[in-house]
Structure 1
Amino acid sequence: MSVLLAALLQLAALQLSSALPFQQRGFWDFGEDIDVRDLMMTMMKDQEEGSAFEDVYPPETPTCPFGCTCHQKVVQCSDLGLIYVPPNIPPDTLLLDLQCNGITEIREGDFKGLTNLYALILRSNLITRVNPRAFLPLKRLQKLYISHNLLTSVPRNLPPSLVEMRIHDNRIRRVAAGTFNGLGNMHVIEMGRNPIHNSGFEPGAFTGLKLNYLRISEARLTGVPKDLPASLHELHLDHNEIQAIELEDLSRYKQLHRLGLGFNHILHIERGALSYLPNLRELHLDHNRLSAVPSGLANMKYLQVVYLHSNNITSVGVNDFCPVGFGMKKVFYNGISLFGNPIEFWEIQPATFRCVSDHMAVQLGNHKK
């Protein structure tokens, strides 16, 4: 482990940045930024636990692609103006960084022999095509970052070992049935900022996945996509064109802890639609067009955070958030935002927030500096 640690410390200053439209805290925190230090620490932990790697002996004569930096299983080739994946990548490589180049195509033999690769970073290139056989040698790949490219579809034959894939900021308009077949280890997919409509998800597109986290933000969705994995703990659909939440839209997602629907055009949430989310902890409905507090919040036992700011809510009822009595609410709220709505705070009865942990947890826009 000490040998790998030296390599990780050498690249610890490397960071990737990109603004997020949706700030996340707690639970699963997977945004666009790749903190390479965190990635390396995860890789070390997996190596210690024996869950990701087998020993691969280095060649007798160490090789390194021209212009790249190679140090103890980490190969860093970013910002070199490359138009192809370079040859002579050491076969014992665990982390391969090819971000910020001019690569246009991933060819069949580009990763030949890299059977122990753990993480592959291809973000911020010009990739339009991935050969269907390109990823076949990557028997132990767990993290694939191929965002900020020009792909029009999800690459085929992804490694079954894959745990996390970030493919946001491409040109994907369609996800075909069976795209993710055989990827039973996948937990995280970030695919926001693709020009995909609801009709772009074919029936069976997500069959076989047991995801914990899925983000389809800044797309062209007009409703909640159908048949997403029922295993989801987090679902983020912010910055879309969703206009309503129908009764059956959320019926599959009983394991959800966090639901992000901010920055849409939601006018109406059908009564009973939220009752399918018994484990929800955090609900983001800010920057929509709601005229009332959604029904059903008072019956959500574990709900702790509700963002309703910047809507058109004109009144708040005394039982909108809290049940009558205290028998049903298991945890108190620690955050309710209502500012940016056409309602005066003095019109809301104090008992409305009787199941809130602290008065500072309610944001009504009445705290003036």
Structure 2
Amino acid sequence: MLGPSGPNCNKECDCPISFPSAMYCDSRKLKFVPIVPTGIKYLYLQNNLIEEIKAGVFDNVTDTLRWLVLDNNQITNAKIEKGTIDKLTALEKLFFSFNQITEAVIPPSKSLEELKMTNNKLSKFPSGLLNDKENLTSVSLQHNELTSEGIADAFKGPKKLLSLDLSHNKLKKLPAGVPSSLEILYADFNEIDKIGAGYLKKLPTLRYLRVSHNKLLDSGIPAGVFNVTSLLELDLSFNKLQSIPEINEQLEQLYLQANEINTISAVTLIPLRRVQFKSLHANCFAAGGIQYVSIRQLKKLCTVYCDNKGLKSIPKIPPYTWYLYLQNNLIETMPLDALQNATQLRWINLNRNKITSDKVGEGVLGGMKHLAHLYMDDNLLSTVPSPLPVSLEHLRLSRNRISKIPAGVFVGLDKLNLLDLQGNKLMDDGVTEVSLKGLTSLVQINLAKNQLSSMPLGLPPTTTQLFLDGNNIEKIPADYFKGLPKMAFLRLNHNKLGSAGIPKDIF
């Protein structure tokens, strides 16, 4: 795959002639580090079974090796002999992830730029290890067992450090003593319950801060701690916050999903002219908990996921919810007050429940002035719900028990462009000339897998796609498509059409 190797290469590895300073020893089931020849600057040893590093293997490259990649091996500290990594004075990148080291392995090189030791068993990273690493810009230590005490003052030394990843550890607080040059700090999946007052003031160039999946409470966030001009992205999701903390107007992205937020004040959001609330999912807003200014800021953001939970009724939905997912439950009823708080709904998915027409409260849907998508596939409906919101654009009612479309049920729905009624029990007398009256914008209608024996009447002239497969249709009237000038897609497979039932030149 790499082509012929150059003459200066260990027999266990490949050294491409086009890149003679690199030696590829990766993915070869090696149990040891081979002796590295003179002239090699880039050494790849990842994805092997290496358990030890013996003295002497780097003797030819102590002052020339720049990259050392040892990811995905079985190396322990006890099997790293002296005279190996501790002699590499020119190393720029050391990748030591997915091994079994319990103590950091740091080369003496002052040229080190990137250090990765993720997915090991580090419980501490003593101060002083990085003191002379004046060129170090990135440190990745996620997925270890580091504690706050174990990393005290560990990162003071590298004055050019830009990125520090300490996610998936056991930290109780954000690391102290990090250099003011830092731009990225990730501390997700720890046990952090508070942020020190003025912490971000000491990091004037910090752009990205992630503290998701921790134990942050409102009481652990001092006033104004995140109100700094440098911050562009702030992730506080999956904590225990009950309110949105004060943030600076320069912030661009804010993540808050899966907290316990129940109130949002106007004061909090007024300065946020640029911010994108990436998510507020799985928070619970009480009635009156969001003030007017917040509505404008938070539209398109509030989504409630209640799918696959075995629900037998619709729970109380927070105000200003836009997207509501209730599919795959055991819901049987839609009482009039089921959605009374959720007046801003745009999308409801009730697929795969047990809702019957007699248990749908009259008017439960009609008052939703913004609802655009209503999905009620795979229920037990015997008729089309009525009244429907005039804002509706997509209506899916497939695989129910609907046998008739009442006259006038679609009157006023001039925005509806998709109607899906496949897999019901519609017969010819259930789809009359007036059944679809009012659908002046209809583009697609799906009447497949019903019990129609003739082509449906009263289709709007805007109809472009018509699905009629799986019925009992025997013939097509000669002038059927004259009133359908935009028809472009027609399905009639699996019917009872014979040659006599298809007029000449009908298509």
Bucket of the pairwise TM-score, normalised by the shorter protein: 0.7 to 0.9
Structure 1 residue 179: deviation in Å?
0.6
Map 1:69-148 onto structure 2 (within 5 A). Answer: 69-71=14-16, 72-87=20-35, 89-114=36-61, 115-129=63-77, 130-131=80-81, 133-135=83-85, 137-148=87-98
Q: Which structure 2 residue ranges, 5 or more long, are not aligned? A: 305-321, 324-346, 350-507
Equivalents in 1 of 2:70, 2:197: separation in Å?
Answer: 40
Query: Which residue matches 1:154?
Result: 104
Equivalent in 12, 15, 18 of residue 67 of structure 1: 12
**Per-residue displacement from partner, 1:280-324 (whole Å, max 9, x unpaired)?**
000000011101111x21xx132000001100000111221222x
Q: Residues 336 and 202 (structure 1 numbering): CA distance in 2 closer, same or farther, change over 3 Å?
A: closer
Q: Residues 213 and 253 (structure 1 numbering): CA distance in 2 closer, same or farther, change over 3 Å?
A: same
Structure 1 residue 144: deviation in Å?
1.2
Structure 1 residue 62: deviation in Å?
1.7
**Per-residue displacement from partner, 1:22-47 (whole Å, max 9, x unpaired)?**
xxxxxxxxxxxxxxxxxxxxxxxxxx
C-alpha RMSD over aligned residues:
2.6
Structure number with larger C-alpha Rg: 2
Structure 1 residue 248: deviation in Å?
4.0
Structure 1 residue 260: deviation in Å?
0.4
Q: What's the secondary structure of 2:294's corresponding residue?
A: helix
Structure 1 residue 200: deviation in Å?
0.6
Structure 1 residue 187: deviation in Å?
0.2
Query: Which residue matches 2:146?
Result: 196
The answer to whether the 8 A contact 2:113-2:137 is kept is yes
Equivalent in 235, 244, 266 of residue 318 of structure 1: 266
Q: Residues 62 and 311 (structure 1 numbering): CA distance in 2 closer, same or farther, change over 3 Å?
A: same
Structure 1 residue 92: deviation in Å?
2.2
Q: What's the secondary structure of 2:268's corresponding residue?
A: coil
Query: Which residue matches 1:24?
Result: none
**Per-residue displacement from partner, 1:99-119 (whole Å, max 9, x unpaired)?**
122222333422222243332
Equivalents in 2 of 1:303, 1:354: separation in Å?
Answer: 17
The answer to whether the 8 A contact 2:89-2:108 is kept is no
Query: Which residue matches 1:20?
Result: none
Normalised by the length of structure 1, the TM-score is: 0.73
Structure number with higher relative contact order (C-alpha < 8 Å, ≥ 6 residues apart): 1
The amino acid of 1:280's aligned partner reads: L
Equivalents in 1 of 2:229, 2:23: separation in Å?
Answer: 46
The answer to whether the 8 A contact 1:214-1:235 is kept is yes
Equivalents in 2 of 1:184, 1:354: separation in Å?
Answer: 47
Map 1:25-44 onto structure 2 (within 5 A). Answer: none
Query: Which residue matches 1:292?
Result: 243
The amino acid of 1:177's aligned partner reads: S
Q: Residues 172 and 182 (structure 1 numbering): CA distance in 2 closer, same or farther, change over 3 Å?
A: same
Equivalents in 2 of 1:335, 1:150: separation in Å?
Answer: 39
Higher mean displacement: 176-185 or 281-290? 176-185
Map 1:238-277 onto structure 2 (within 5 A). Answer: 238-268=188-218, 269-275=221-227, 277=228
Q: Residues 311 and 222 (structure 1 numbering): CA distance in 2 closer, same or farther, change over 3 Å?
A: same
Normalised by the length of structure 2, the TM-score is: 0.54
Structure 1 residue 10: deviation in Å?
4.3
Equivalents in 1 of 2:290, 2:2: separation in Å?
Answer: 56
Give me the identity figure in percent.
27
Q: Residues 191 and 255 (structure 1 numbering): CA distance in 2 closer, same or farther, change over 3 Å?
A: same
The answer to whether the 8 A contact 1:179-1:206 is kept is no
Q: Is 2:232 the partner of 1:281?
A: yes
Equivalents in 2 of 1:255, 1:353: separation in Å?
Answer: 32
Higher mean displacement: 163-172 or 341-350? 341-350
Q: Residues 345 and 239 (structure 1 numbering): CA distance in 2 closer, same or farther, change over 3 Å?
A: farther
Q: Residues 345 and 232 (structure 1 numbering): CA distance in 2 closer, same or farther, change over 3 Å?
A: farther
Q: Residues 180 and 188 (structure 1 numbering): CA distance in 2 closer, same or farther, change over 3 Å?
A: same
Structure 1 residue 84: deviation in Å?
1.8
Query: Which residue matches 1:224?
Result: 174
Q: Residues 156 and 96 (structure 1 numbering): CA distance in 2 closer, same or farther, change over 3 Å?
A: closer
Query: Which residue matches 2:117?
Result: 167
Structure 1 residue 246: deviation in Å?
3.1
Q: Which structure 1 residue ranges, 5 or more long, are not aligned? A: 1-8, 12-57, 324-328
The answer to whether the 8 A contact 1:239-1:264 is kept is yes
Equivalents in 2 of 1:70, 1:158: separation in Å?
Answer: 26
Query: Which residue matches 1:5?
Result: none
Q: Is 2:127 the partner of 1:180?
A: no
Equivalents in 2 of 1:173, 1:139: separation in Å?
Answer: 26
Query: Which residue matches 1:42?
Result: none
